[in-house]
């Protein structure tokens, strides 16, 4: 048990012991001592304001960041971030920018203006970093915020569901991107960008292990502690508390678009139909940040859509924590609750290969049911 938790439990036990005339010290180690004020989410079909669907650009082998020559230009790829594209955006953007500018190495990289293809989280971070390195950048994009997949994201800072395996060389790249991204995002914390630190609770019935994506970057999840039974306010046996950053994509992406334009960036809206059109661009450097679009534009069949559906409830401003998982309440599936300014997001679907933006009514019902069961039980526990 770490020192801080020991102090908390001891303080709670002492306070409780005094209040109860020391009747039962063990019985006083309860969530009220430290989590008073944490309220359940209010789940009901009447509170639903919309259902969102997005297609994660998933590659089982992980994202691609690499350079090649193309029609006399330097072409740098930066796509395929799966379920962690907002999280990783500044990290892989930094790696892609290194490939453009040579990362300080003489004779590498390429001089000149840059065309960034794509205006999601990945394209915007890449464009901004290149501007900060002194380049003139034009974004070419079919969709701008608020119409990108990045606008649908949760977005918890966590490089989750990024590849089938994090062993081997990709694991090293993954760790590098995660660490760079974590540093960059900290410079954006505050209301202007809609980025803040928040408590996360991973709920389970079994003692939680350390998942693969977290193992390499355990230090990026500060204050991790495992609470059991009455030490936490949730109706599951275990709750792992950990602190992450949390990004509100509508505000965040709007702020990045603003920064890009203020720094002199130009935006050209329209689809790049094929590589011939790409070759005709005036810029000698191109960075491909097209997400799922890379499959058609560059023929990478390794990129597959993974459909995610979110049921969004009207905002509940008193909620200031995330839940991930739901123990027995999840009924073998997954679930999460992210409270944003524009609504309380309920999610947990991950349908590989499903390429439709049509909401699935059965999934909507299930998402509402599992969250309803979880938070009703929490309301009974916290009173």
Least gap, CB of 21 to ligand FAD (angstroms): 47
Between 82 and 327, CB nearer to ligand FAD: 82
Two structure tokens written together for 123: 């394209």
Residue 241, φ and ψ in degrees, nearest 5: -100, 135
Where does this chain touch ligand FAD (CB under 6 A) — which range of 54-62, 97-105, 217-225, 355-363?
Answer: 54-62
Of 16, 40, 62, 85, the one binding ligand FAD (CB under 6 A) is 85
CA angle at 168 for the pair 167 and 174, rounded to the nearest 5°: 70
Q: Does 155 bind ligand FAD (CB under 6 A)?
A: yes
Q: Does 326 bind ligand FAD (CB under 6 A)?
A: no
Two structure tokens written together for 8: 């908390």
Which value, in Å, is the radius of gyration of the alpha carbons in the chain?
23
Q: Does 300 bind ligand FAD (CB under 6 A)?
A: no
Binding residues with ligand FAD: total (CB under 6 A): 41
Cβ burial 81-103 (10 Å sphere, 16+ → b, else e)? bbbbbbbbbbbbbbbbbbbbbee
Between 9 and 75, CB nearer to ligand FAD: 75
Of 16, 84, 233, 235, the one binding ligand FAD (CB under 6 A) is 84
Question: Which residue's structure tokens are 């992450």?
Answer: 244
Least gap, CB of 133 to ligand FAD (angstroms): 19
Least gap, CB of 332 to ligand FAD (angstroms): 20
Residue 132, number of CB atoms within 10 A of its CB:
11
Give yes or no for a contact between 177 and 63, defined as CB atoms under 8 angstroms apart. Answer: yes
Report how far Cα 293 is from the mean position of its chain's Cα atoms: 20
DSSP letter for each residue of 124-165: HHHHHHHHHTT--EEEEES--TTSSHHHH---BS---S--S-
Q: Does 311 bind ligand FAD (CB under 6 A)?
A: no
Among residues 287, 268, 259, the alpha carbon closest in space to that of 115 is found at 287
Two structure tokens written together for 267: 């935006």
Least gap, CB of 331 to ligand FAD (angstroms): 20
Q: Does 54 bind ligand FAD (CB under 6 A)?
A: yes
Least gap, CB of 305 to ligand FAD (angstroms): 9
Q: Does 303 bind ligand FAD (CB under 6 A)?
A: no
Site for ligand FAD in 216-275 (CB under 6 A): 271-272
Between 100 and 256, CB nearer to ligand FAD: 256
Two structure tokens written together for 297: 């534009």
Where does this chain touch ligand FAD (CB under 6 A) — which range of 76-84, 173-181, 211-219, 226-234?
Answer: 76-84
Alpha-carbon span 104 to 127, nearest angstrom: 18
Site for ligand FAD in 130-149 (CB under 6 A): 140-143, 148-149
Q: Does 312 bind ligand FAD (CB under 6 A)?
A: no
Q: Does 81 bind ligand FAD (CB under 6 A)?
A: yes
Q: Give the contacts of 69 (CB within 8 A, at least 6 positions apart).
A: 75
Give yes or no for a contact between 307 and 354, defined as CB atoms under 8 angstroms apart. Answer: yes
Of 34, 87, 101, 330, the one binding ligand FAD (CB under 6 A) is 87
Least gap, CB of 306 to ligand FAD (angstroms): 7
Question: Which residue's structure tokens are 């010290």?
Answer: 25
Q: Does 347 bind ligand FAD (CB under 6 A)?
A: yes
- Strand 266-269: give its sheet, edge to edge: 64-70, 73-79, 285-288, 114-117, 137-141, 266-269
Q: Does 154 bind ligand FAD (CB under 6 A)?
A: yes
Where does this chain touch ligand FAD (CB under 6 A) — which range of 9-17, 30-38, 102-110, 283-291?
Answer: 283-291
Among residues 261, 262, 233, the alpha carbon closest in space to that of 40 is found at 233
Between 67 and 297, CB nearer to ligand FAD: 297
Least gap, CB of 299 to ligand FAD (angstroms): 12
Per-residue binder mask for ligand FAD (CB under 6 A), 97-126, x = binder: --------------------xxxxxxx---
Residues binding ligand FAD (CB under 6 A):
54, 56-57, 79, 81-87, 117-123, 140-143, 148-150, 152-156, 271-272, 289-293, 297, 308, 310, 347
């Amino acid at each position: 048990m770490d020192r801080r938790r020991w102090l908390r439990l001891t303080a709670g036990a002492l306070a409780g012991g005094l209040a109860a005339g020391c009747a039962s010290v063990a019985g006083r180690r309860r969530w009220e001592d430290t989590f008073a004020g944490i309220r359940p989410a209010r789940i009901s079909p009447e509170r639903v304001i919309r259902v969102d669907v997005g297609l994660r650009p998933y590659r089982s082998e992980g994202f691609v960041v690499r350079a090649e020559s193309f029609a006399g230009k330097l072409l740098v790829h930066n796509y395929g971030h799966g379920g962690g594209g907002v999280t990783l955006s500044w990290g892989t953007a930094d790696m892609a920018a290194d490939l453009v500018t040579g990362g300080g190495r003489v004779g590498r990289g390429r001089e000149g203006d840059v065309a960034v293809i794509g205006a999601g989280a990945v394209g915007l971070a890449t464009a901004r970093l290149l501007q900060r390195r002194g380049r003139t950048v034009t974004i070419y994009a079919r969709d701008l915020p608020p119409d990108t997949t990045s606008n649908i994201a949760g977005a918890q800072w966590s490089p989750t569901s990024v590849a089938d395996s994090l062993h081997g060389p990709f694991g090293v790249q993954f760790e590098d991107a995660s660490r760079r991204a974590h540093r960059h995002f900290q410079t954006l914390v505050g209301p202007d960008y809609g980025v803040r630190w928040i408590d996360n609770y991973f709920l389970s019935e079994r003692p939680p292990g350390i998942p693969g994506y977290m193992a390499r970057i355990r230090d990026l999840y500060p204050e991790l502690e495992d609470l059991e039974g009455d030490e936490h306010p949730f109706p599951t046996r275990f709750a792992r508390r950990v602190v992450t950053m949390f990004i509100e994509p509508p505000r965040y992406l709007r702020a990045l678009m603003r920064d890009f334009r203020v720094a002199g960036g130009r935006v050209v809206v329209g689809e790049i139909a094929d590589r011939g059109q790409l070759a005709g661009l005036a810029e000698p450097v191109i960075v491909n940040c097209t997400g799922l679009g890379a499959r058609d534009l560059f023929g990478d069949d390794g990129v597959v859509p993974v459909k995610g559906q979110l049921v969004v409830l009207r905002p509940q401003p008193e909620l200031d924590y995330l839940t991930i998982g739901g123990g027995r309440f999840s009924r073998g599936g997954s679930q999460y609750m992210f409270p944003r300014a524009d609504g309380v997001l309920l999610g947990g679907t991950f349908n590989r290969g499903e390429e439709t933006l049509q909401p699935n009514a059965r999934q909507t019902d299930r998402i509402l049911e599992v969250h309803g069961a979880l938070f009703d039980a929490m309301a009974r526990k916290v009173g």
